[in-house]
Amino acid sequence: MTPLVRTRLYFLLSYVCFGLVAFALWLQHVEQLAPCPLCILQRYAFVGAGVFFLLSGLFGGPLARSGLWAAGLVAALGAAVAGRHVYVLYNPSVSCGLDPVEDFVNSLPPAQWLPQAFFADGTCGAKLPPILGLDIPEWSLLWLAVLTVVAVLLSLRRA
C-alpha cells in the first residue's frame, strides 16, 4: 500500500467516525431522541478514534502507527460501552447507571462546553425504532468493533 493510499484510508476512517457522530447529533436534534450517558460515552469514543485516525493521516510514519494503536484502544473501549448498552437494552431490569454515570458524564468539560453534543438526558433502556433491523447501540457496537479491528490490522502492517 502506498503512503498516499494509506493516508487517504486514515482520513476516510476519521470521516466515518465524525460522520457517525454527526448522524447521532441528527437523531438527537432532528428526530428528538435524547442521548443517554452510555450514548454520550460512545460519542466520545467515535470522536477520539476519529481524532487519532486523523492524526495518523496527518503525520504518517511511526507516529501513524501510534495513532492507529490509540484509535484502536479508544474504539475498543467504546465497543465495551456499546456492549454494555446492548446488554441493558435486552435486560430492562439492569440500570445503565442514571445517577453516578450520568452525573460523571455530565460533569465532564465537553458537556459544559458543548451541551448540545455531550450532555446526557435520556434513558439507556429506552426502546427506539430499529434502523435496518438493528437498535442504535447495536449499530454503535458494530461500527466500534470494525474500527477497532481495522485500526489494529493497519497498525500491524509493515510501513
pTM, to two decimals = 0.90
Task: Read off the CATH number of the domain in which 119 is found.
Answer: 1.20.1550.10
Taking only the tens of pLDDT, the chain with its 159 residues reads 788 888 899 999 999 999 999 999 999 999 888 888 899 999 999 999 999 999 999 987 888 889 999 999 999 999 999 999 898 888 877 666 556 777 788 888 888 898 888 888 877 777 777 878 888 899 999 999 999 999 999 998 865
**Domain count along the chain:** 1
Residue ranges making up the domain that contains 120: 3-156
List Cβ neighbours of 88 (8 Å cut-off, separation of 6 or more).
38, 94, 95, 96, 124, 125
Cα angle 65, 71, 76; round to 5: 130
